[in-house]
Amino acid sequence: MMQWTVNPPSLWHAWFDPRILHQLWLDRIKVITSDCLSDYRGSIPRRVANINSLMKTINIAGVDIDIADGNIGLSISGGADSALLAYILAKYAPGPLKFYSYVSEDKFRRGEKYSRQVVDKVIELTGNNNISHDITYFQTQEYKQFIRFLMIKVMSKQVDIMYCAVTETPPEAVMESFNNKMESSVFQLRTPGILKDVYSRSNMEYNPFRNINKQRIRAIYEELELLDTLYPLTFSCESMLDVQEHCGDCWWCEERHWAFGRYV
């Protein structure tokens, strides 16, 4: 698969390279078919997210993060990665921020508690209260439904672009030392050591952390001095039991401990 890291190629480039035209067409089809449109009744904006309107790119701990102007959406789970991105956007983005939490009943609505306390802390730390936070409940955490839920916010122009905080997994050798294996469908998004496109779904979705793993996330926490303020309020455990703290036993607890050396 072809990769581009910052600006996806335009149709002008595609004119010279049929492979790019083909890839653009595949990307467009992916957006229009099963992923997100079955619930959407409006017309599809011709260009849903205009990446030329990027206001600036900042660099924290060696990681480039594009800060768009306009209405920015962010998927926030209560985990360490999305909490960090929420803080960065609240600190550096000029426009209104719309945070969306997708909370699973099957996991005891844990996402509600942790995303609320993360958003409260982000507002307290940055002084930015130009933020809304919508929590939506679903029975089961299902990736396709989750993406549809997010992309409809862009297609219906509630936001100009949706930020997400997908990271790379730890390197293969590290994962081999873990006691648990990760679900394969999610793993594909996070394959380590391969340069992945940070813009996807016709620029509707932006994942600035897609090519870094959780140890690099910790480095950003360190640089922003958030390890003792924001980090302890985040929750990474994906236990299917009704746990009140990190179980220390699931894949996500292992990843968190590998990166930060502690749970809270």
Q: Provide the binding-site residues for Zn ion, judged by CB under 5 A.
A: 237, 239, 247, 250, 253
Q: Which is nearer to Zn ion, 215 or 239 (CB)?
A: 239
Q: Minimum distance between the CB of residue 28 and Zn ion, rounded to whole angstroms?
A: 38
Q: Which is nearer to Zn ion, 185 or 244 (CB)?
A: 244
CA end-to-end span of the chain, whole Å?
Answer: 38
Q: Minimum distance between the CB of residue 238 and Zn ion, rounded to whole angstroms?
A: 6
Q: Which is nearer to Zn ion, 69 or 112 (CB)?
A: 112
| Residue 83 DSSP SS3 | helix
Q: What angle do CA 164, 185, 263 make, to 5 degrees?
A: 60
CA dihedral 232, 87, 134, 72 (to 10 degrees): -160
Q: Minimum distance between the CB of residue 263 and Zn ion, rounded to whole angstroms?
A: 9
Q: Minimum distance between the CB of residue 135 and Zn ion, rounded to whole angstroms?
A: 22
Q: Which is nearer to Zn ion, 58 or 186 (CB)?
A: 186
Smallest Cα–Cα separation from 88: which of 4, 196, 206?
206
Q: With beta carbons less than 8 A apart as the criterion, state whether 131 and 119 touch.
A: yes
Q: For residues 35 and 195, give the distance between their C-alpha atoms in angstroms, rounded to a whole number.
A: 23
Identity of the amino acid at 111: G
Q: Minimum distance between the CB of residue 257 and Zn ion, rounded to whole angstroms?
A: 10
